[in-house]
Amino acid sequence: MDIPHALFEEKLEAMKATKGVDNDTDLTANDLRELVGQYKNVYVEAKGEQFPSDPKRQLQLAVLAVFDSWDSPRANKYRSINQITGLRGTAVNVQCMVFGNMGNTSGTGVLFTRNPSTGEKKLYGEFLVNAQGEDVVAGIRTPEDLDAMRDHMPEAYAELVENCDILESHYKEMMDIEFTVQENRLWMLQCRSGKRTGTGAVKIAVDMVNEALVDRNTAIKMVEPGHLDQLLHPQV
């Protein structure tokens, strides 16, 4: 929308101050309805037109916003730091929304298929019952260890473990995964190659050779120069 995020953040902070609450989640449904009206006014003042009410137009604008984010200063800096070159742009995935905050049979979590610090072959992550994905990373609630999911939702947990094995076998990599459970049904939201320490990188590479997931040449490429640099320095 090309509207500074700070304009919306100001309205949110003012609303919390008016209602005497500290967290976004403490606002009631009526508070949020009022806030939406204020957000729409910000849009009108910035764009000179009403906020679009057509869902197709909203989706189109959301897709365009993702495309435009490719050239944001933050994205350019990230690609520079990680030496990502030769790409022409980003892709957009459109998927249905699922909800992890529909009671005690729902939840959300993030995980690595192996411990990113040590490389241990064990699922490593966090899980929250009756929550959305942003609750895990925002620090609003304290998540449980992923193992707790086995007790809360044994069937969904078993399916999650199976899916993690499938993804590792397919991508030949330690994966970073986001997932949601909606009323005991598991949804895999996103996966990507997981960041890891030097120690973790070496162990993961060696273990995957021993597990016949990758050959030696592939394993060598999995350990980056930065990982070796970490190992050559004193560690606490």
CA separation for the pair 57, 222 (Å, rounded)? 43
Cα–Cα nearest to 111, from 79, 147, 80:
147
pLDDT band of 2, cuts 50, 70, 90 = confident
**Dist CA 62 CA 70 (whole Å):** 13
Torsion of CA 67, 70, 71, 73, to 10 degrees: 130
Question: Averaged over 124-149, what is the pLDDT?
Answer: 87
Region of poorest pLDDT, from 132-136, 161-165, 225-229:
132-136
**Distances from the Cα of 146 to the Cαs of 1, 150, 152, 169, 190, in angstroms?**
37, 8, 10, 21, 17
- pLDDT greater than 80 at residue 140: no
CA–CA separation, 136 vs 134, rounded Å? Answer: 5
Averaged pLDDT, 150-172: 97
Euclidean distance between CA atoms 150 and 127, whole angstroms: 10
Mean pLDDT value of segment 146-164? 96
Residue 40, amino acid: K
Residue 139 has pLDDT above 80, yes or no: no
So what's the pLDDT on residue 200? 96
Instruction: Check whether 25 has a pLDDT greater than 80.
Output: no
- Average pLDDT of the chain, as a whole number: 93
